[in-house]
Structure 1
């Protein structure tokens, strides 16, 4: 994985996923559903997850699929400012 996750955000396991019987992939970020993937795209994601060596690799796959962590300016939804 090398230099992809400089801030170690993916060590926190912020993403989770669920695969249904009909190969639909539900992706969650901090427990909130952010994406549903079906069809051929879902099959590609499932294959990549199955081939992943570590949990961190899975986190990176899910981050890339959802488009998070590409710009480096994402804010943690658990630490939002009040007011």
Structure 2
């Protein structure tokens, strides 16, 4: 699966975090969610973490899931 790219984040006053993808806003996190995100982005690959938090991570394995015996008709 290709590694996600193009994500960045900005931490604003008041604990708000804005995640962008190729310069366009993808999501905004506030409060406890922002704190959890910041802790996770420091510990793991930032691009993968941001892709997961924005919901843009299900790429490349759809065909594999479709062909799984459990999902066939």
The two structures have a TM-score, normalised by structure 2, of: 0.72
Uncovered stretches (5+) of structure 1, i.e. residues with no partner: 1-5, 74-83
Moved over 3 A (4+): none
Distance across 1 between alignment mates of 2:42 and 2:2: 25
Greater helix content: 2
Q: d(CA) in 2 for partners of 1:21 and 1:50?
A: 19
Q: Structure 1 length normalisation: TM-score?
A: 0.64
3-state SS, counterpart of residue 15 of structure 2 = coil
Of residues 22, 36, 39, the one that matches 1:47 is: 39
How far is the alpha carbon of 1:71 from its aligned partner? 4.0
Q: Which has the larger radius of gyration?
A: 2
Which of structures 1 and 2 has the larger relative contact order (alpha carbons within 8 angstroms, sep 6+)? Answer: 2
Runs of 5+ in structure 2 lacking a partner?
A: 62-73
Map 1:7-22 onto structure 2 (within 5 A).
Answer: 7-8=2-3, 10=4, 13-22=5-14
Q: Which residue of 2 aligns with 1:72?
A: 60
Q: How many residues are matched?
A: 61
